[in-house]
């Protein structure tokens, strides 16, 4: 597609993307802050954070994916100027994410007894179990935040969630430092202080995001449409679950592959697991930035589709691809240059730093693949195409990436590097398949948009 056709979409996409990028970064910066602060207490504690994050993130991303199903439906309804449908999406979306938060948070009571079966170092497991219980509690406020956030972002209101994420991260950083080391009159809690800081920060995010959606003047028409029926309706909930679940499953397949890779690396020892935590922590920062562009692609493609502009939706998607390619290329070069310096901010063990630097070199290699696959997912969500990408993720990560990583790491003796090479292969495969999928699907004219949500509203 010629650049001249994409140029009109570049500025609007960037205008939507940069607040979402900062907001999405807020989620991962919580883990970055926790890892940096806890890493100063020792490599075993850092390895425990790695194990905990690996377990918690798999569950968390399913909930976030479920919530992400709200955004393209809101964008399409906004394109049709269907205020009644938007009111129902607000009610159903918040009820769905709150219920999901309760269920996912409850899993935190069930998972710690299963940790010994992952065959991790005993000292790591002992530190990880209480951390997991507290972090899972924070999934309820996080999901409430997501319900309101995804609705607002579907309307193109992306700056509010960004500002709230920045505020919450500042609070998390302060509380994390204060509670881990006992500063400013707070008790010394060690690594558990970071978990409690995350819970408090996410609680603040939920309260402030709900207050914005429920009080902002510009959102009054949608609140008025929702006020006629404050309880969810079965048809609307079924549609949201049916649409959001494949997104959540796809994200679980992807994140589950990374989490299981951490478990495999944990079989090698605490040093390797600590190095993995540093490298994956850094790579997740650039990934979440790219996911902000993907969210903008969902909104832009979805709105164009709602307007019946098939070619506009196609151009919006490829504009997001172009932006992501440039951004992730720059990030890859930055990781190559800084790979020996970044790990020192997490831990001062020379062995950990050296191994993390080697893994960051592989992370630099998969930046473009990682960015292209996540923006492909975002663009396909805008086309309401969510089931096939889930199958692609399942096969690429679990049938290719993890088996290949295991063979390279253990029978062939490459260790953690082998696991990461397997992940690089899986990411590249997903990126190529989703690009081909978008090229095909974006050529298909959108049918008249009469879905179950609109029928339920009427």
H or E, element range at 284: helix 270-306
At residue 92, does pLDDT exceed 90?
yes
Q: Which two tokens stand for residue 77?
A: 């309804």
> CA–CA distance from 211 to each of 155, 189, 204, 296 (Å)?
17, 32, 11, 23
d(CA 452, CA 386): 16
Q: How confident is the model at residue 380 (pLDDT cuts 50, 70, 90)?
A: very high
Q: What is the pLDDT of residue 360?
A: 94
Q: Which two tokens stand for residue 393?
A: 């993720």
By the 8 A CB rule, do 198 and 135 touch?
Answer: yes
Q: Which residues contact 312 (CB under 8 A, 6 or more apart)?
A: 9, 304
Q: Of the ranges 3-12, 67-76, 202-211, 441-450, which is most confident?
A: 202-211
> CA–CA distance from 420 to each of 355, 382, 410, 413 (Å)?
12, 31, 13, 13
CA angle 303, 90, 457 (to 5 degrees): 80
- Of the two residues 342 and 19, the one the predictor is more confident about is 342
At residue 454, does pLDDT exceed 60?
no
The fraction of the chain above a pLDDT of 70, given in percent, is 95
Q: Which two tokens stand for residue 439?
A: 């090229």
Q: What is the pLDDT of residue 27?
A: 61
The fraction of the chain above a pLDDT of 90, given in percent, is 39
Find, among 8, 1, 5, 457, the residue nearest to 235 by Cα.
457
Q: What is the pLDDT of residue 244?
A: 87
Q: How confident is the model at residue 153 (pLDDT cuts 50, 70, 90)?
A: confident
The average confidence (pLDDT) of the chain is 86
Find, among 430, 319, 312, 379, the residue nearest to 71 by Cα.
379
pTM, full prediction: 0.73
Instruction: Express each pLDDT in 281-339 by its tens digit.
Output: 888 888 878 888 998 898 889 888 878 888 888 999 999 999 999 999 999 999 999 99
Q: What is the pLDDT of residue 457?
A: 37
Q: How confident is the model at residue 400 (pLDDT cuts 50, 70, 90)?
A: very high
Q: Which two tokens stand for residue 279?
A: 């490298």
φ, ψ (nearest 5 deg) of residue 406:
-65, -45
- The DSSP 8-state label assigned to residue 401 in this structure reads I
Mean pLDDT of 190-204: 90
By the 8 A CB rule, do 273 and 281 touch?
Answer: no
d(CA 436, CA 357): 33
Mean pLDDT of 88-107: 93
By the 8 A CB rule, do 201 and 216 touch?
Answer: no
Mean pLDDT of 168-180: 88
Q: What is the pLDDT of residue 5?
A: 77
Q: How confident is the model at residue 120 (pLDDT cuts 50, 70, 90)?
A: confident
Q: Which two tokens stand for residue 133?
A: 């219980």
Label residue 450 left, alpha or beta by phi (over 0 means left) and psi (-120 to 50 means alpha).
Answer: beta
Mean pLDDT of 79-107: 91
d(CA 284, CA 276): 12
By the 8 A CB rule, do 425 and 404 touch?
Answer: yes
Q: How confident is the model at residue 26 (pLDDT cuts 50, 70, 90)?
A: low
Q: How confident is the model at residue 1 (pLDDT cuts 50, 70, 90)?
A: low
């Amino acid at each position: 597609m010629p650049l001249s056709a994409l140029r009109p979409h570049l500025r609007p996409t960037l205008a939507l993307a940069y607040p979402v990028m900062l907001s999405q970064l807020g989620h991962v910066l919580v883990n970055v802050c926790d890892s940096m602060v806890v890493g100063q207490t020792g490599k075993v504690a850092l390895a425990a954070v790695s194990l905990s994050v690996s377990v918690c993130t798999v569950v968390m991303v399913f909930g976030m994916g479920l919530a992400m199903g709200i955004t393209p439906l809101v964008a399409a309804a906004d394109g049709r100027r269907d205020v009644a449908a938007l009111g129902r999406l607000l009610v159903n979306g918040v009820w769905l994410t709150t219920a999901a938060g309760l269920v996912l948070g409850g899993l935190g009571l069930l998972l710690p007894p299963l940790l010994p079966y992952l065959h991790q170092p005993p000292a790591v497991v002992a530190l990880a179990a209480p951390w997991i219980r507290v972090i899972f509690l924070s999934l309820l406020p996080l999901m409430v935040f997501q319900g309101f956030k995804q609705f607002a972002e579907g309307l193109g209101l992306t700056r509010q969630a960004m500002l709230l994420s920045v505020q919450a991260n500042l609070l998390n950083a302060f509380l994390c430092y204060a509670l881990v080391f006992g500063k400013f009159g707070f008790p010394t809690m060690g690594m558990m202080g970071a978990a409690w800081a995350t819970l408090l920060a996410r609680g603040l995010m939920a309260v402030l995001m709900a207050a914005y959606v429920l009080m902002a003047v510009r959102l009054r028409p949608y609140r008025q449409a929702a006020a006629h029926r404050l309880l969810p309706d079965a048809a609307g909930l079924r549609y949201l679950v049916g649409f959001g679940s494949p997104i959540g499953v796809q994200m679980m397949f992807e994140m589950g592959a990374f989490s299981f890779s951490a478990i495999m690396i944990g079989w090698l020892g605490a040093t390797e697991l600590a190095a993995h935590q540093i490298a994956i922590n850094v790579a997740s920062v650039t990934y979440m930035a790219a996911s902000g562009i993907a969210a903008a692609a969902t909104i832009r493609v979805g709105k164009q589709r709602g307007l019946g502009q098939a070619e506009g939706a196609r151009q919006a998607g490829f504009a997001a691809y172009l932006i992501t390619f440039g951004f992730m290329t720059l990030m890859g070069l930055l990781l190559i240059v800084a790979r020996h310096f970044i790990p020192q901010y997490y831990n001062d063990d020379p062995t950990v730093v050296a191994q993390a630097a080697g893994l960051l070199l592989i992370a630099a290699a998969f930046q473009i693949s990682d960015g292209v696959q996540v923006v492909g997912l975002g663009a396909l969500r805008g086309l309401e195409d969510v089931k096939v990408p889930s199958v692609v993720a399942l096969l690429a990560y679990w049938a290719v990436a993890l088996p290949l990583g295991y063979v390279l790491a253990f029978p062939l003796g490459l260790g953690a590097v082998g696991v990461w090479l397997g992940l690089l292969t899986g990411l590249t495969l997903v990126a190529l398949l989703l690009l081909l999928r978008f090229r095909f699907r974006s050529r298909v004219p959108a049918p008249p948009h009469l879905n179950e949500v609109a029928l339920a509203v009427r």
